[in-house]
Structure 1
Amino acid sequence: MNINWFTVIAQIINFLVLVWLLKRFLYKPVLTAIDERDKKIASQLENAAAKKAEAEKEYDKFLQKNDIFDKERAAQMNSVYEEADLEKQRLYHGIREEATALRKKYEASLKQREKDLTVKLKRRTKEEVFAITEKTLADLADTKLDQQVVKVFINKIENLDKDNLSKLKNAFNNNEIINVTSAFELSPISKSVLQKTLKDITGLETDFQYSIDPELISGVEINTKSYQLSWNIEAYLEVLKNNSITKDNDNESA
């Protein structure tokens, strides 16, 4: 078999030219494209990793902020609960103090009403007693109550001790006006008897002024700047009342 070296050489040259052409126009661009593709993919992976890291970092920040927010919210809620509890206690104490004040005011009002009622009842009872007494005296002895009261008052003056008698005489010696106050209008006879008795006891004359004060409870009172003397039957009623209360208590104990 004969070898055509020219053909072989030509084919070798063609093969080398083909390889060079492939390398020059096909293989190198493909490798370059592959390299660029690899670089692009690597860059994208790096960007993805960076974004992932940044996302993880942001997520951590979010978790931290969320934790801080939860703590702050819990603290604020605790503060709100504490303030609400304090306000509740304040309102409770305020309401209790107001209730206590109202209760005390109500009790004071009841006591005052009871006191006023007692005073009115006492005064009404005394007025009735005095009216009955006056009528009884008028029916039995044909004597007015004012005359009887003046009579008792004169008897008290006549039985004064030395000290009070000396004070009474000094009042007359100083020419002081004698103010005579009674629970009712004294009759001319009662006034005359009273003035004569004082003149006989002191040996002096002076001016008299008469006035009425129902609070004396059927009594008579003489007043000067330096001396005072009075008599009424309220003291006797108080003794009677105390004796009645004592008897009622004794009966309850029995």
Structure 2
Amino acid sequence: MLIDWFTVIAELVNFLILVWLLKRFLYEPVLKAIDEREKKIASELQHAADVEKEAESRLIELQRKNEAFDNAHTQMIKDAEQEAVEEKRTLLNEAHREYDALRMRLQETLKHEETSLESRVTDRISAEVFSIARKVLQDLSGSSLEAQIADVFCQRLRESDPEDVAAMKDAVSRKSLNPLVRSTFPLSSSLQERIQAVVRDVFSIDTQLRFEEGDDMVGGIELSMNGHSVSWSVRSYLDSLEKMTAELLEGAE
């Protein structure tokens, strides 16, 4: 069988033309479309990866912020609790101080009232004692209470210790003012002369005595000079009576 080379060559040329045409008008557009599609898919995948990465980053940031908020909230609660505890402690301390101050004021007030009451009671007892003693002395001996107190005081001067006598003499020698005699009641001229004579005899003092009345003296007379004094009053008897009364009241309670 003879080969028709012209036909073979023509078929080969036609095949090559067909291949070129397919490549030119079919394969290249398809490959180009496939390549563009792959690029688009890759771009979308990259965008999706970027979005996912950004979402993860935002999620981490949100978690960090939430954790920081929780920590801050916890710290705020702790600070508020600590502040409340300190405020409570401060208020309690202030309340205790105010209570102590009020209690001390009340105690001082009660003590002052008690002292004032004791003073009034003592003064009242003293006045009643003087009144009764004055009446008794006048009824029994016809002498006054003042004269009896002056006699007792003179006796007290005569019984002075040698040390008191020496101290009084020394005080008179170093003091420019005359010795002072203070009494609860006014002393008559005769009583003043009697006391002056006793002082002269006991203390060898020739200076004229000064006489004054003193409300703080409770039924008594006092001779004083430069811090040294000799006195007699019913205060000691009233103090003993007050002490005995207090002991009786405590025993009754």
* TM-score greater than 0.5 by the shorter chain: yes
Worse-matched range after superposition: 157-166 or 236-245: 157-166
1:214 counterpart SS class: coil
Contact 1:158–1:201 (CA<8 Å) still a contact in 2? yes
Contact 1:219–1:230 (CA<8 Å) still a contact in 2? yes
Contact 1:184–1:212 (CA<8 Å) still a contact in 2? yes
Residue 34 of structure 2 aligns with which residue? 34
Structure-to-structure mapping, 1:18-97, within 5 angstroms: 20-21=20-21, 23-97=23-97
Contact 1:220–1:231 (CA<8 Å) still a contact in 2? yes
Structure-to-structure mapping, 1:155-194, within 5 angstroms: 155-165=155-165, 167=167, 177-194=178-195
C-alpha deviation, 1:192, in angstroms: 2.0
- CA separation of 1:92/1:222 partners in 2, compared to 1, >3 Å: closer, same or farther? same
Residue 6 of structure 1 aligns with which residue? none
Q: CA deviation digits over 1:54-93, x for unaligned, max 9?
A: 2123212322332233223213322332232223223222
Worse-matched range after superposition: 145-154 or 164-173: 164-173
- Structure 2: distance between partners of 1:248 and 1:134: 29
- Structure 2: distance between partners of 1:131 and 1:243: 22
Contact 1:137–1:143 (CA<8 Å) still a contact in 2? yes
C-alpha deviation, 1:117, in angstroms: 2.1
C-alpha deviation, 1:48, in angstroms: 0.8
2:39 counterpart SS class: helix
Contact 2:154–2:195 (CA<8 Å) still a contact in 1? yes
Contact 1:180–1:210 (CA<8 Å) still a contact in 2? yes
Residue 219 of structure 1 aligns with which residue? 220
Paired letter, 1:61: E
C-alpha deviation, 1:150, in angstroms: 0.7
- Structure 2: distance between partners of 1:79 and 1:212: 72
Contact 1:173–1:204 (CA<8 Å) still a contact in 2? no
Cα RMSD between the aligned structures?
3.5
Contact 1:176–1:225 (CA<8 Å) still a contact in 2? no
Residue 4 of structure 1 aligns with which residue? none
C-alpha deviation, 1:143, in angstroms: 2.4
Contact 2:150–2:221 (CA<8 Å) still a contact in 1? yes
Structure-to-structure mapping, 1:200-239, within 5 angstroms: 200-201=201-202, 205-225=206-226, 227-239=228-240
Q: CA deviation digits over 1:90-128, x for unaligned, max 9?
A: 322232223223222322222222222222222232223
- CA separation of 1:58/1:111 partners in 2, compared to 1, >3 Å: closer, same or farther? same
After TM superposition, the score normalised by the length of structure 1 is 0.78
C-alpha deviation, 1:224, in angstroms: 2.2
After TM superposition, the score normalised by the length of structure 2 is 0.79
Contact 1:172–1:205 (CA<8 Å) still a contact in 2? no
Residue 109 of structure 1 aligns with which residue? 109
User: What's the % identity of the aligned pairs?
Assistant: 34
Query: Unpaired segments of 5 or more residues in structure 1?
Result: 1-8
